[in-house]
Amino acid sequence: MSVTAAQGFLAAGVVAGLKSTGRPDVALVVNRGRRKAVAAVFTSNRAKAHPVLWSQQVVSDGIADAVVLNSGGANCFTGPFGFQTTHATAETVADALGISATDVVVCSTGLIGVGDQIFRDKVLGGATAAAAELDDDGGLAAATAIMTTDTKPKQAVVAGDGWVVGGMAKGAGMLAPGLATMLVVLTTDADLPSEVLDSSLREATRVTFDRLDSDGCMSTNDTVVLLASGESDVVPDQAAFQAAVTELCADLAEQLQADAEGAAHDIRIEVVGAVSDVEAVEVGRSIARNNLFKAAVFGNDPNWGRVLAAIGTTSAEFDPYDVDVTMNGVRVCHAGAPDQPSDAVDLTPRAVHVLVDLKVGDAEATILTNDLTHDYVHENSAYSS
Amino acid sequence: MSVTAAQGFLAAGVVAGLKSTGRPDVALVVNRGRRKAVAAVFTSNRAKAHPVLWSQQVVSDGIADAVVLNSGGANCFTGPFGFQTTHATAETVADALGISATDVVVCSTGLIGVGDQIFRDKVLGGATAAAAELDDDGGLAAATAIMTTDTKPKQAVVAGDGWVVGGMAKGAGMLAPGLATMLVVLTTDADLPSEVLDSSLREATRVTFDRLDSDGCMSTNDTVVLLASGESDVVPDQAAFQAAVTELCADLAEQLQADAEGAAHDIRIEVVGAVSDVEAVEVGRSIARNNLFKAAVFGNDPNWGRVLAAIGTTSAEFDPYDVDVTMNGVRVCHAGAPDQPSDAVDLTPRAVHVLVDLKVGDAEATILTNDLTHDYVHENSAYSS
């Protein structure tokens, strides 16, 4: 149950030979409903991959029929040939489905710089095969085909009053602000225009995927797409719809965090007492990106000094000598001095909660991250070999 | 030969019992010359340790007689008691030397949150002992006493025309922009006022220590102090003096990089063709802080895609599809597409050179960093235990 939970959607996942493991590597999601509304959010990285440059154009009119996705190669920095590959992929899907190539969103993930003729041939073959295997129960197959170093497919569904919104996600590496090597496809049978999809999606990603910062690195290929078929014949209340999309994105974001490359801890950094949301996010992100803090968590060491040192690098309003830090329920720092003994903190569970009270306002934000582990170094030092 | 290379300076390093290993842990450098000029640069971290807050006041009048330094505890976030410890340390040195406490710079390094009565007693005992052991050949003893996870003392000397400038440094962890857990003491017998010391030191650190970014983390305790005794009776040309201080700082910065915690590679990121120095530094720093890139270098993998992805997160002017990346002499990316095969790049030497040509201007900058290794994770997950 994921992208095919909503009425009007078909999906497939096939083996195209892009992955040396022989696992599925091309997915297709098609909207066969009476409405073809789309909204999307892309990486804020200025070095954008060809599929992102293509798909930004596709969604600009608010209409899309299909999303084709491949793992096994990011098709990024592959020269003009790479852009032509993206274009050809959309054409192949369009021909198979009898639609226009300009209504086909393309997403790719994998190694940057991979995108030669062999890559193209396999992607096009996969796109053709996927179109032939479309099924209204194909959600899991599609979610499986977009996995890279993910250890499990990621799916979620939220039911509204007579409508549903479901989705799939991949991404276990470069999770970061402004999205990460994260590909997410969401579908709904709610009867809504692209403008409503767009505002709902932006607000949802702002407080979910944008606050997931596994390793501070930002991908060239990140894409989150929301398609609406209208097949439920229900026009939901806009607030209810946005809440459902946010809940769905939060669920998928937590699944991404739980499956981040090499992670041994899922760290929830809750910043309260900030002057503004923006400053709470800045503080949380600074802690989430501090390698010394992340390595300490890996070692089950409640090293609150590294939390304060990270806060000090931000421009957020705070008094270093009036900050409280609580780790897994134990207040280890009060007013810039040691409080409860660090020995009282148990960091052996996978879930770690860091609560920072800046005491200068009422705003708050939560950032999700992971620890810095030997497995992270190992996976990322050997990824392309 | 380091802080005692210049005429007029004495130094000592003693065992105060702060380190569980029993190694020397308190150092003292004293200016006995006819001039007592001082300039200093401190961490830009807004969470500053007590010794930094104290020393900022000490140097504000351009006069200082001595610098006392301890390893084994940062005396940061240790409450009002911690500030009193810093004050008492300066008083102890002042009493022993017959000078004013307000002319004693204090530096501390080690774990944040450590600074209880036992810590204070040991630091004060060490300060008294160091004052009794001052020697005009004490440079190495002092350089040894400030080591934390450093594997070797770091010293350098640059000779001018009738004057010298020498120095010592410690710092193997949180090396980062705006300085790091880096304590540096420089001494000269040149006859210069504090204003000239200050401008020379700021320009030197801007292009040396400020461009050393081992792990992106910024310390609460960083301090670089330059003392001048005037004992050579030579007033150097200001440009020659600044060049010597810069050469000295560059030498010490490279020693810090070479001894960074757990590092297996010393990476020199040279950004050319930028619109401005500021943008060249921003680009270099972004690459230097990209964990995926740093892990790839550890794995001897010339993953230039991660270099481009890191550049894309900056605000610097560039065209992602007109950037060249050369690694250890092999141009692996040209105009946003693969160029020479990655196999041609040999990353097995410790020294790695990454050359990025943005092709939009004439400005350039070089950032020094290290790779992300298993040993880095190990050392920083076990540091406080």
Task: Give the number of other Cβ atoms within 10 Å of residue A1's Cβ.
Answer: 15
Q: Determine whether domain B9-258 maps to CATH 3.40.50.1170.
A: no
**Which of the pair, B322 or A214, is modelled with greater confidence?**
B322
Q: pLDDT per residue over B68-86, tens digit each? A: 999 988 898 888 999 999 9
Higher pLDDT, residue B28 or B289: B28
**Per-residue model confidence as pLDDT tens digits over A301-310:** 998 988 998 8
pLDDT at B344 over 90: yes
Residues 6+ apart with CB under 8 A from A34: A8, A229, A230, A231
> What is the number of CB-based contacts under 8 A between chain A and chain B?
203
pLDDT computed for residue B179 by the predictor:
37
Element (H, E) at A352: strand A351-357
Q: CA–CA separation, A127 vs A27, rounded Å? A: 8
As a whole number, mean pLDDT of residues A326-340 equals 93
If one compares A175 and B376, the residue with the highest pLDDT of the two is B376
B212 band by pLDDT with thresholds 50, 70 and 90 = confident
User: ipTM of this predicted complex?
Assistant: 0.79
Could you write out the three-class secondary structure of B124-183? HHHHHHHHHCCECCCHHHHHHHCCCCCCCCEEEEEECCCCEEEEEEECCCCCCCCCCCCE
Instruction: Pick the more confident residue, A48 or A380.
Output: A48
Of the candidates A76, A303, A308, the beta carbon closest to that of B384 is on: A303
Q: How far apart, in whole angstroms, are the C-alpha atoms of residue A66 and residue B45? A: 49
Going by C-beta distance under 8 Å and a sequence separation of 6 or more, which residues neighbour residue B339? B324, B331, B332, B333
To test the contact with chain B by mutation, choose from A83, A108, A112 the residue with the greatest count of B C-beta atoms within 10 A, namely A112
Q: Is the pLDDT of residue A177 over 60?
A: no
Among all chains, which residue has been given the structure tokens 């198979």?
Answer: A96
What are φ and ψ of residue A104, in 5° steps? -115, 115
DSSP annotation of A339: -
- Model confidence over B98-140: pLDDT tens digits? 999 999 999 998 888 888 899 999 999 999 999 999 999 999 9
**pLDDT on residue B377:** 80
CB contact under 8 A, A312 and B218: yes
Locate the chain B residue with the closest alpha carbon to A294: B381
Q: Which residue of B has its CA nearest to A113?
A: B338
Res. A172: pLDDT tops 70? no
Interval B223-232: pLDDT, tens:
899 999 999 9
Nearest to B377 among A173, A311, A377 (CB): A377
Q: Mean pLDDT, to the nearest integer, of A100-121?
A: 92
**Which range is least confidently modeled, B150-159, B271-280, B374-383?**
B374-383
State chain B's mean pLDDT as an integer. Answer: 90
Per-residue pLDDT, B117 = 93
Q: How confident is the model at residue B217 (pLDDT cuts 50, 70, 90)?
A: low
Which is more confidently placed, B158 or B292?
Answer: B158
**Domain A266-381, what architecture?**
Roll (3.10)
Phi-psi region of A140 (alpha: psi -120 to 50; beta: other; left: phi over 0): alpha
- Is there a binding annotation on residue B326? no
Burial of A202 (0-12, 13-18, 19+ CB in 10 A): middle
C-alpha of A288 from chain center: 17
Q: Which residues of A are annotated as a binding site for substrate?
A: 148, 170, 181, 261, 380, 385
Q: Is A326 a catalytic residue?
A: no
Phi, psi of A84 (to 5 degrees): -65, -35
- Average pLDDT for residues B264-269, to the nearest whole number? 92
For chain A, the structural domain boundaries read 9-258, 266-381
Model confidence band, residue A173 (pLDDT cutoffs 50, 70, 90): very low
Distance in angstroms (rounded) separating the CA atoms of residues B243 and B385? 42
Q: How far is CA A220 from the centre of its chain?
A: 13
Instruction: Output the average pLDDT for chain A.
Output: 90
pLDDT given at position B216: 65
Query: How remote is the C-alpha of B231 from its chain's centroid?
Result: 26
Inter-chain touch B338–A113, beta carbons under 8 Å = yes
Compute the average pLDDT of residues B7-29. 95
Does the structure show a pLDDT above 90 at A214?
A: no
